[in-house]
Amino acid sequence: MTWRIGGSIILVVGIVLGARATGSGKAAAAPAQSSSASIPHFQVDPSWPKMDGHFGVTGNWIFGSIGGIAIDPATDHLWVLQRPRSLDSHESSAAQNPPESDCCVPAPPVMEFDAAGNFIQGWGGPGPGYDWPDTEHGITIDYRGNVWIAGNGKRDNQILKFTKAGKFLLQIGHPGKSTGSGDTENLNEPTKVSVDPRTNEVFVADGYVNRRVIVFDADTGQFKRLWGAYGNKPDDAAPRIRRTPFDLPASQPLDSLTKDPPPQQFNLVHAVMISNDDLVYVADRSNNRIQVFKPDGTFVKEGFVARETLTHVGTVVDLAFSPDKAQQFLYVASGDEHIRILNRATLEEVGRIGRMGHYPGQFFWLHVIACDSQGNIYSGDAAALGRRVQKFVLKGSSSP
């Protein structure tokens, strides 16, 4: 069954410094008329993380583009995967030889912060025994406390597994070795992983080039299975869908973006998440949709998110579940600079947070999101003019 989310849903948006800013700074997610559930409300914390110029230590650090964020299920700490090599010489002036100014130097790729925003530790980068990605993309803390890292550089055909202290444990795939979506040993610009505690399997969103979800044993790296859109065999030869007004032929009307049959192949598999009720949610970013599967790859349903939106980024960039046992809400990082709130059961949009901008509570190239056990949402921006992590504190909920 397919849901079309978007054009027929009327939203009245309340955001921090946004279309209907409130004096309290609350990011009030307004309900869709079809929802009967209370809608969560958030307030941005502009002091998070604690940025005294040194992240609480003597590093004199600065973030590069944010490639991933993740919550540690054991501690509620936020882990950040950022891209030191994305910084230009002006941003890293203190790292030049000789230093051009007293600030700043690139922060470590992997950083851990507690719930209050205090820096805990940092590590990462090339080392013996493994191939660090050329472009860091996606971080996950699994149920055993292991840290998984992916990458979307042109030769990044691998994922890595470390301890929380940064000790290397496992590599799946090898740089520059991918032979396509049928390859069971290598990935191709993988974006994010999720580990199922029921089976100790690692599910990989693969990715920017490959068009599939692929599953391995999380300890040995042994291949288990893979699938493409609708649970079918991925086809790399299938054309990527044309979905922006700049790409459409003159003879193809704009409304074809929402009226055409759904694409039969994934376009850009940007995230994978496993729910408490054992369903696998896949962010098919450029196709503006979520597809849901059983862990064996059996297709369950799909939902389009603002399919008519013409951003070339796509509207399903990253996913996070609300922390209640039923995981009632599915949070979606959208390429049109919103966090969209979906009813997870129906995949209907019931609210949204934020808009494009450079101030607290706004986004510029919103790239990744996460949600902690208290219901607070974290976001990370990837663009050169973004490069920040924000915390949105859950302030309660209201009925539609």
CA distance linking residue 141 with residue 283, whole number of Å? 19
Average the pLDDT over 207-211 and give the result.
96
Q: Which CATH number do you get for residue 264?
A: 2.120.10.30
Distance of CA 51 to the CA centre of its chain: 23
Q: CA quadruple 234, 236, 240, 241: dihedral positive or negative?
A: negative
Q: What is the structure's pLDDT at 264?
A: 94
Domain that holds residue 56: 2-398
What rounded mean pLDDT belongs to the chain? 87
State which H helix or E strand residue 257 sits in.
helix 256-259
Q: How many domains does the chain have?
A: 1
Structure confidence at residue 250 as a pLDDT band (50, 70, 90): low
What would the pLDDT profile of 228-242 be if each residue is shown by its tens digit?
999 999 999 998 765
What would the pLDDT profile of 49-102 be if each residue is shown by its tens digit?
986 655 555 568 899 999 999 999 999 999 999 999 999 998 899 899 998 998
Average the pLDDT over 292-312 and give the result.
93
What would the pLDDT profile of 90-123 be if each residue is shown by its tens digit?
889 989 999 899 889 999 999 999 999 999 999 9
Structure confidence at residue 386 as a pLDDT band (50, 70, 90): confident
Q: What is the pTM of this model?
A: 0.88
Residue from 40, 24, 106 nearest 331 by CA: 40
Please answer whether residues 15 and 354 qualify as being in contact, where contact means their C-beta atoms are separated by less than 8 angstroms: yes
CA distance linking residue 272 with residue 291, whole number of Å? 10
Q: What is the structure's pLDDT at 242?
A: 53
- Percentage, residues of the chain above pLDDT 70: 83
What would the pLDDT profile of 1-27 be if each residue is shown by its tens digit?
333 333 322 233 333 333 333 333 344
Q: Which two tokens stand for residue 284?
A: 């098919």
Q: What is the structure's pLDDT at 311?
A: 81
Tell me if the bond preceding 361 is cis, omega within 30° of 0.
no
Q: Looking at the predicted structure, is the pLDDT value of residue 128 above 90? A: yes
Return all residues near 128 (Cβ < 8 A) that are at least 6 apart: none
**Radius of gyration of the chain measured on its C-alpha atoms:** 20
Q: Looking at the predicted structure, is the pLDDT value of residue 196 above 90? A: yes
What would the pLDDT profile of 345-354 be if each residue is shown by its tens digit?
999 999 999 9
Structure confidence at residue 376 as a pLDDT band (50, 70, 90): very high
CA distance linking residue 197 with residue 310, whole number of Å? 38
Q: CA quadruple 272, 367, 206, 313: dihedral positive or negative?
A: positive
Q: What is the structure's pLDDT at 65?
A: 96
